[in-house]
Amino acid sequence: MKMKTTNILIAFLLLIVLQSCKMENTPEEYFDISALNTNLFMEFGSKDFETMQQNKNANQLIAFDEKGTFPAKSYEDHILRFKVAYLNQSIKKIEDLKPTEETKPMIDASLDLFNFVKNKYENDYVKIARLMDKKAPKETVDKAIADMEATTFPVFEAKYKKLWDLALPYAKEHGIDVKTF
């Protein structure tokens, strides 16, 4: 009986050690999670606000929490409880990647970009959303969006380019087929 308990204990400890020493991720996981996932930003800026307006008009502006998805109360609610929440999930996935000497620069560039966008959502986007929620004149909203884009896009594009300058050679080196537009 004592031998059986000892064997079970050893097996259990071995399982814990193997779990804690998780092997590094696959090249596809590194690429998909850190770089390909930037497709979330395809509508970043004015296009994003247009889509939100269309979704609100169609009663499809959503939010989510641990219980599920539901209609957002406002543009601000949608940004904070859908866009930022989804970004937080994406950032967590990037942070969960086990960096290697080869992948650390790509992971760091990805985190830099994702955290930059998250900051824009939490600050600039929320300010514009509040204008939209208060039904500010279209000209006021459009100006706020244009001002945000003027200051944000040069930084966004530099961070995006830095990430992809690392990601594309990584993908090529690891035989990952990437279609660029």
Express each pLDDT in 132-154 by its tens digit. Answer: 999 999 999 999 999 999 999 99
> Where does the pLDDT of residue 6 fall: very low under 50, low under 70, confident under 90, or very high at 90 and above?
low
Q: How many CB atoms lie within 10 A of CB 153?
A: 13
How far apart are alpha carbons 122 and 81 in whole angstroms?
11
How far apart are alpha carbons 105 and 87 in whole angstroms?
20
Could you tell me what percent of the chain has a pLDDT over 70? Answer: 86
Query: What pLDDT sits at residue 65?
Result: 86
Cross-strand bridge partners of residue 65 = 68
Give the H or E element holding residue 130: helix 126-133
How far apart are alpha carbons 144 and 132 in whole angstroms?
11
Query: What pLDDT sits at residue 66?
Result: 86
Could you tell me what percent of the chain has a pLDDT over 90? Answer: 80
| pTM for this prediction | 0.84
Query: What pLDDT sits at residue 3?
Result: 52
Q: What is the mean pLDDT of the chain?
A: 89
Query: What pLDDT sits at residue 178?
Result: 84
* Contact (Cβ atoms closer than 8 angstroms) between residue 63 and residue 81: yes
Say what angle helices 104-120 and 138-173 make with each other, to 10 degrees: 170
Query: What pLDDT sits at residue 8?
Result: 62
* Contact (Cβ atoms closer than 8 angstroms) between residue 148 and residue 120: yes
* Contact (Cβ atoms closer than 8 angstroms) between residue 92 and residue 106: no
pLDDT exceeds cutoff 60 at 11: no
Give the H or E element holding residue 93: helix 84-96
Q: What is the pLDDT of residues 36-78, one digit of tens each?
A: 999 999 999 999 999 999 999 999 999 988 888 999 999 999 9
Amino acid at 136: A
Q: How many helices (H) and strands (E) does the chain have?
A: 8, 2
* Contact (Cβ atoms closer than 8 angstroms) between residue 118 and residue 95: no
Q: What is the mean pLDDT of residues 21-27?
A: 72
